[in-house]
Chain A
């Protein structure tokens, strides 16, 4: 997984309507990286063929 640079994070944030300061971007970057790593782990978790949980029970 390619590491995310602050510039890329800034661009992504702007695309989502978030104007973040440099310190805010630097503070957020490790959290985003940790989350990306977790999301990557889900992609490798053998979820193929499994449907999303449906919590809207008809019971």
Chain B
């Protein structure tokens, strides 16, 4: 390697690290804020990077249900005695998990079947069906939200009337929102499996169902898993639908908004819950790196 290209290579390495660093910085700052004591968060004199004693109070209160006022008294702090358990987010995390898992199950259950038919069977209206599925992706959720609240009230799917039906209602609408990505992604994975596989199985006497269940489905296991993970992430991060449709059920993104109060924002708690909400997504996204592009483009681009 010549000297010039070597220097260029080093410059490029530095640039790549700096740029990536810029995109990681807010996450780092967020995590750092979550272990800062109040005095360091609200430091008006300087930007406080590492000059503080780490504290886990924020996690204790939001994730482990410790009493905030008790901690304040123990530490001899005068601040923040009010709102004893409003920051305990365990319930919200549980609700978010239940709803995301339920929504993922429903989405995948209906999508895999539809995707199989679209990928394998020739029928009239196939293009129309695909367009309708895709159309759901184009529709801004707000367009159906207003009537949906009324419909949910009438149908008893509001969480204020019946908590379990409230869960179901939110899961169903999440399933609808995730339907396009799941169907199109599964179609793209199924299209990768040659049709000869089905034909061979059916010549051997297998029914459609057996072909699907015993032959094709095992071949797209990875695709099902990748789609499910993406649907889970999208359900986990959803905000608008949950904000409109539920009152008692507060998913994590909605719960975190309640920490913004008229007397000031509880940044320590917000950062702690926010960091905790990010971690599951990070783990999941690293699992599906390989299929991420395909997923984000609804199966139209492959890596």
Partners in one complex: no
Q: Chain A residues in contact with chain B, CB under 8 A? A: none
Interface residues of B (CB under 8 A from A): none
